[in-house]
Amino acid sequence: MSVIDFLFGRALRSSEERSEKLGAAAGIPVFGLDALSSAAYGPEAALTLLIPLGAAGIAYIAPITISIVILLLIVYFSYRQTIEAYPQGGGSYTVAGQNLGAFAGLLAATALMIDYVLTAAVGISAGVGALVSAMPTLQPRTLPLCLAILLLITLVNLRGSRETGAIFMAPTYLFLGTLGTTILVGIVKAIVAGGHPRPVEAPLALPAASAAVSLWLLLKSFASGCTAMTGVEAVSNGVAAFREPVANTARRTLTTIIVFLAVMLLGIAYLCRAYRIGAAESGPGYQSVLSQLIAAVAGRNIFYFVTIGSILLVLSFSANTAFADFPRLCRLIAQDGYLPAPLAERGRRLVYTWGIITLAVVCGILLIFFGGVTDRLIPLFAVGAFLAFTLSQAGMVAHWRRKGGARIHILLNGLGAVATAATVIIVIITKFVAGAWITTLLIPLIMLMMFSIRRHYERLQAQISEAAPLDVNKRTSPIVVMPMMAWTRVSRAGLQFAMQICTEVHIVHVTSEGGDKDLASSWRKIIEEPLRRAGMPMPQVKVLKSPYRFVIAPIVDYVLELEKKCPGRQIAVIIPELVEKHWYHNFLHNRRATWLKAALLMKGDRRIVIIDVPWYVDD
Amino acid sequence: MSVIDFLFGRALRSSEERSEKLGAAAGIPVFGLDALSSAAYGPEAALTLLIPLGAAGIAYIAPITISIVILLLIVYFSYRQTIEAYPQGGGSYTVAGQNLGAFAGLLAATALMIDYVLTAAVGISAGVGALVSAMPTLQPRTLPLCLAILLLITLVNLRGSRETGAIFMAPTYLFLGTLGTTILVGIVKAIVAGGHPRPVEAPLALPAASAAVSLWLLLKSFASGCTAMTGVEAVSNGVAAFREPVANTARRTLTTIIVFLAVMLLGIAYLCRAYRIGAAESGPGYQSVLSQLIAAVAGRNIFYFVTIGSILLVLSFSANTAFADFPRLCRLIAQDGYLPAPLAERGRRLVYTWGIITLAVVCGILLIFFGGVTDRLIPLFAVGAFLAFTLSQAGMVAHWRRKGGARIHILLNGLGAVATAATVIIVIITKFVAGAWITTLLIPLIMLMMFSIRRHYERLQAQISEAAPLDVNKRTSPIVVMPMMAWTRVSRAGLQFAMQICTEVHIVHVTSEGGDKDLASSWRKIIEEPLRRAGMPMPQVKVLKSPYRFVIAPIVDYVLELEKKCPGRQIAVIIPELVEKHWYHNFLHNRRATWLKAALLMKGDRRIVIIDVPWYVDD
């Protein structure tokens, strides 16, 4: 057990829950890494689609970023209200489910779940991708590096919320500090230089324009840039994880995250324009927008490398938001019976162990399948997040109307719903062919699975519940069947137990050769004589021929036949089992007891009971 | 079951054994592939070491081959006698064990087992290697190809001896036919041309000499060529697999194999000399000796490709000899208690299933570890085979002396022992550094394991055997402990069974929250009232607090404590278990019943009995 303690920490009492709660400072790395790290790829994603416009394209990054930031603020105010209204944890699932019905809730939840899985895989792979492009010798190690980071994040999350916050705090604040400083210094330099600062290191030359500007292109750029907004719902989903006063702490965390993100997005857009930095085509000589920007503002010195390093770390660890929220979301759905019940159980460190493991496994499969390079998954993104946003805002509108909330509340959430709904439509249309169709196909499939899980639970409940009171008249003792190969202390222990619980024993002996026919008679002395002397009932000895050398099948057949012959009686199969001290000694035996138990459980029915009489080997 | 029937064939009755026996024609592919395929690599191995001698080296292939063939004939006559003396199967293990003691027997067996594993891995990898060098586009598929062939051979062998013979017969006789024809035509051509035939296609140019001839070099070449002799013991090991008259059929099979092998070895050596063919250095432009030889005799036409193709097949399938013999050898050792007992059990097709699977797994691990290229394993070879030969011959000498056999018998086997012993020494000395040291290290380790297995069985036997007769006075009924989460039909079934077998029931309820304290009281109506009315004893209800949310541990602890408090009584833990119809529904439950059973079995002792009361879900 000490290995487990070392890896996952000692078990936590349920009463220690309070000390696992998060303050705002720790909440940012736990729930905000996904949103904040978007600053590193959102602007790049928008600028990449502007490449065909050449130098002229850079002019459009400002209005696009401003639109995104306005959308972000709408969503922010919207979620602030949600936190207030649902301090017990108001994710899209809860809000949409309680106000628009179970279907809407599950639709939002499914969309979010897909998004979390994608966030985790793409985040890790983006971080490792950036590292590998900085150190090309690591190229062949891409997949192992991805899996190592996945394992690290999984382990940290299994250790509990508080430790996760503590561990990811340093890289988060390093990232905010260095990138924030870069942006601040850049803006000051630009203003001092009258809007046209001289770059310390010149950014890449912008290509010639190869296309004219069009609404379609700008919409696509906007939709791509919107990936920067995934992860914003994380805080409202995990309100319950925060310290008292819960709503207050959660709101403070959300505000901090959004302010940082908005400032970074606007700052980057401004500096791109001032320094004339555009996205580069991938290929040799490629440099990311942020790399160009930092080099332009600060030069390629130690500060540059620290900043780039912190970006890599934050990108890889952005997967952590998924690990914080996915299990909590699964737990809520599982509590309502739409997902397997174990997902709702808290493990030894008070986190939802099975949710974390599920996410890690699915994410690992994606990483392995794509060899650690998940670029092709990026277009699948954002559909889920914005679908969940929309349903959650719409749910809030319904909530206020039912509760008779202030008009301003309805207005804010309504605005949020309309804006995010419009964005969903733009994202689906502009990215449909590139992969968003996969998401729109996956969502109904997963929902179908959820509904059938719920139906299964309901049927099961109907079958096992409303049990009648104990029936005291049904007391005929069971018939015992016991397989016996030879008279050893192991089988003796079994028979001795059989005699304690009933008077009708069938001893079954399977023989393939026909050579041990007189075994039954040799047992007479050992078994029958003592019984006769005591005037007790005799066991029946059945010799079963097995021409195919099978041992399990004839015993199971005998039990099933006996059950048919004795309606209303229970058949107890006693299986004497030799238990070795060390697991590797199991290889020395044919483990028939184990197989027989499994076969009986598989082929048996409610009247057949399996009794395991273990006989432990002494050292 | 039909998938299993399709893959492995229907189960065979023990009485069908006779029809599974092999005639000489089928015996050659089953037991002879290893020996016969040696013709494809033995001469090459010897010639490779003669490369430094340049053109002059070819002269030495004749005396070296003749020495090998003489050794082969000595061993052949030796084994003929063994077959006669041990018609029930006289492998080195049996002969050495019965005549020189268990230690010698196990030494021979271990040496052989290592050799079989190596044969299987190297055979498959050599065949695939030859195929890949013919079709370089397959290069990246080396390992998958190796594993596919391994899987094929494993499956075929699991289907039984007779089918193995039938399936491998065609490639074996194609190989013998085509290579035999090549050698015959080549010899006729050479004689007609007065010993200096004109090659249809000229063989590779021989390199200039870079070293002078030395005894050390010739010994090394001889030792390498001796790999051609591995697999010769296979027939004597598997005599029992042959048709009546057993010894006769086996002897005929052995004779055929040896005659073919000797003729091919001598023919190849003669033609190498006549056509001036030597081994080529590996690298670009490499051609195997046989490829040069066939092209020289017949040209590069369709016959060439058919012959080369049959050589590839036979090389890959030479692993089959290992699959025929290794399980039979393991079975004999397991019967004596030196290997796990399941190795001695015959599966549904009358073959030793676990032996086949063991060989396949070990061989697969080797192939995966070496990426399908097992050249580095070749030097490990032959030590085992010759060690086994020596011990077996020496054993036969002891056998004849004890039985008072004819002097000619003693002489023949003695000659064999001395010759093979000398070869072992040469092989170990010449190949020690290259890898033979691994074999000499592995042998004692494996033998150590065998002796400790035997010791474990002996101790176990002492513990479980000599059981006393049934004790009829020990009839106090057990105390039943039953965990219960809620009153459902599942738990009702468990309690109902408890009442059939005893009067003292402890119901254990684990709670982590403390919220269901009054559960016990709500059960009063359902459980206690009916019992009270019937005047029956009440069950005790124990509520166990679980601050860490563990459920299994508190129950196990309770059971262990109760056992301590009630010395001499048996504790029966009733575990009501919900059984789903479909395996995938198991994911919907926390499977606590399974875990509890496992935990009780692991931590329990002889007085704790586990009763599984299954409750099957209706469709």
Q: What is the reported pLDDT for B260?
A: 94
CA distance B246 to B462: 38
Q: Give the contacts of A60 (CB within 8 A, at least 6 positions apart).
A: A50, A53, A213, A218, A221
What is the phi/psi pair of residue A481, to 5°?
-115, 130
Q: Is the dihedral of CA A367, A368, A370, A371 positive or negative?
A: positive
Give tens-digit pLDDT for B553-574: 999 999 999 999 998 899 999 9
CB contacts under 8 A, B 559-588 vs A, are: 570, 572, 577-579, 585, 587-588
DSSP line for A132-170: HHHSGGGGGGHHHHHHHHHHHHHHHHHT-HHHHHHHHHH
- The tokens of B480 are what? 């039943």
Nearest to B470 among A470, A531, A577 (CB): A531
How is chain A split among helix, strand and coil, in percent rounded to 5? 70, 5, 25
Checking if the pLDDT of B1 tops 60, the result is no
- The tokens of B16 are what? 């069908």
CB A523 within 8 A of CB B469: no
Query: A176 touching B, CB under 8 A?
Result: no
Other beta carbons within 10 Å of A62: 14
Please give the biggest Cα pair distance in chain B. 114
Region A147-167: what's the mean pLDDT? 88
Q: What is the reported pLDDT for A518?
A: 60
Q: What is the reported pLDDT for B296?
A: 93
Go through A231-249 and write b for each residue having 16 or more CB atoms within 10 A of its CB, e for each that does not. Answer: bbbbbbbbbbbbbeebbeb
Mean pLDDT value across chain B: 88
DSSP line for B258-291: HHHHHHHHHHHHHHHHHHT--PPPSSTT---HHH
Q: Give the contacts of A312 (CB within 8 A, at least 6 positions apart).
A: A127, A130, A131, A134
CB B427 within 8 A of CB B436: yes
Angle at A40 between CA A37 and CA A42, to 5 degrees: 95
Nearest Cα neighbor of A478 from A543, A565, A568, A554 is: A568
What does DSSP say about strands A505-511 and A479-483: parallel, antiparallel, or unpaired?
A: parallel
Of A16, A339, A472, A546, which to mutate for an interface test with B (greatest number of B Cβ within 10 Å)?
A472
CA distance B123 to B591: 46
Checking if the pLDDT of A347 tops 70, the result is yes
pTM, two decimal places:
0.82
Q: Assign B179 a pLDDT band (cuts: 50, 70, 90).
A: very high
CA distance A224 to B228: 68
Q: What is the reported pLDDT for A190?
A: 93
Nearest Cα neighbor of A428 from A467, A389, A382, A459 is: A382
Give tens-digit pLDDT for B156-178: 899 887 888 888 899 999 999 99
Q: What is the reported pLDDT for B106?
A: 95
Q: What is the reported pLDDT for A300?
A: 87
Nearest to A605 among B530, B577, B616 (CB): B616
Q: How far is CA B392 from CA B93, B95, B331, in A?
A: 7, 6, 18
Cβ of A464 within 8 Å of Cβ of B615? The answer is: yes
Contacts of A530 in chain B (CB under 8 A): 469-472
Checking if the pLDDT of B408 tops 60, the result is yes
Q: Give the contacts of B137 (CB within 8 A, at least 6 positions apart).
A: none
Q: Assign B357 a pLDDT band (cuts: 50, 70, 90).
A: very high
Checking if the pLDDT of B25 tops 70, the result is yes
Q: Is the dihedral of CA A26, A30, A36, A40 positive or negative?
A: positive
CA distance B309 to B315: 10
Cβ of B618 within 8 Å of Cβ of A499? The answer is: no
Q: What is the reported pLDDT for A519?
A: 67
* Cα B499 versus chain centre, distance: 51
Q: Length of chain B, please?
A: 619
Give tens-digit pLDDT for A180-220: 999 999 999 999 998 889 999 888 888 888 888 888 889 88
Question: Based on the number of CB atoms within 10 Å of its own CB, is A219 exposed (0-12), middle (13-18) or buried (19 or more)?
Answer: middle
Nearest Cα neighbor of B423 from B40, B90, B68, B112 is: B68
Checking if the pLDDT of B109 tops 90, the result is yes
CA distance B497 to A608: 10
Pick left, alpha or beta for residue A550 (phi over 0 → left; psi -120 to 50 → alpha; otherwise beta). Answer: beta
Give tens-digit pLDDT for A429-459: 888 888 788 888 899 999 999 999 999 999 9
Lowest mean pLDDT among A99-103, B103-107, B208-212, B374-378: B374-378
- The tokens of A401 are what? 């109307």
Nearest Cα neighbor of A596 from A572, A573, A571, A563 is: A573
- The tokens of B211 are what? 């070293």
Tokens 């309309």 belong to: A418
- 3-class SS of residue A591: coil
Q: Give the contacts of A313 (CB within 8 A, at least 6 positions apart).
A: A127, A171, A174, A175
Q: What is the reported pLDDT for A96?
A: 92
CA distance B383 to B425: 9
Q: In Å, how far is A497's CA from the nearest CA of chain B?
A: 8
Q: How far is CA B248 from CA A14, B85, B166, B413, in A?
A: 78, 12, 21, 19
Q: Which residues pair with B573 in a beta bridge?
A: B481, B610
Q: In Å, how far is B476's CA from the nearest CA of chain A?
A: 6
Q: Assign A383 a pLDDT band (cuts: 50, 70, 90).
A: confident
CA distance B547 to A355: 22
Contacts of A340 in chain B (CB under 8 A): 587-589
Nearest Cα neighbor of B242 from B300, B168, B165 is: B165
Pick left, alpha or beta for residue A212 (phi over 0 → left; psi -120 to 50 → alpha; otherwise beta). Answer: beta
CA distance B465 to A39: 74
Give tens-digit pLDDT for B527-549: 888 888 888 888 888 888 888 88
Query: B391 touching A, CB under 8 A?
Result: no
Q: Which residues pair with B610 in a beta bridge?
A: A612, B573
Mean pLDDT value across chain A: 88
Checking if the pLDDT of A5 tops 70, the result is yes
CB contacts under 8 A, B 470-509 vs A, are: 470-478, 487-493, 495-497, 499-502
CA distance B227 to B243: 29
Q: What is the reported pLDDT for A11?
A: 81
Q: What is the reported pLDDT for B590?
A: 85
The stretches of A336-436 forming alpha helices (DSSP H) are 353-369, 383-403, 407-431
Go through B559-587 and write b for each residue having 16 or more CB atoms within 10 A of its CB, e for each that does not. Answer: bbebbeeeeebbbbbbbbbbbeeeeebee
Region B425-445: what's the mean pLDDT? 86
Q: What is the reported pLDDT for B267?
A: 95
Nearest Cα neighbor of B203 from B140, B123, B272 is: B272
Contacts of B526 in chain A (CB under 8 A): 467, 469-470
Contacts of A495 in chain B (CB under 8 A): 470
Sheet hosting strand B571-579, strand order edge to edge: A540-545, A505-511, A479-483, A571-579, A608-616, B608-616, B571-579, B479-483, B505-511, B540-545
Other beta carbons within 10 Å of B255: 14
- 3-class SS of residue A407: helix
Cis peptide before A245 (omega within 30 of 0): yes
Checking if the pLDDT of B520 tops 70, the result is no
- Classify residue A86 by its DSSP letter: -
- The tokens of A36 are what? 């904040």
Q: What is the reported pLDDT for A382?
A: 77
Q: Assign B514 a pLDDT band (cuts: 50, 70, 90).
A: low
Region B45-67: what's the mean pLDDT? 90
CA distance A92 to A503: 62
Give tens-digit pLDDT for A35-87: 898 888 888 888 988 988 988 888 899 999 999 999 999 889 888 888 888 88
- The tokens of B162 are what? 């007779």
Q: Chain B residue closest to A503 (CA)? A: B501
Nearest Cα neighbor of B112 from B238, B254, B261 is: B238
Q: Assign B437 a pLDDT band (cuts: 50, 70, 90).
A: confident
Q: In Å, how far is B566's CA from the nearest CA of chain A?
A: 16
CA distance A597 to B446: 33
CB contacts under 8 A, B 304-333 vs A, are: none
Q: Assign A268 a pLDDT band (cuts: 50, 70, 90).
A: very high
Checking if the pLDDT of B513 tops 70, the result is no
Q: What is the reported pLDDT for A65?
A: 94
Give tens-digit pLDDT for A461-493: 998 887 788 888 877 889 999 999 888 899 999
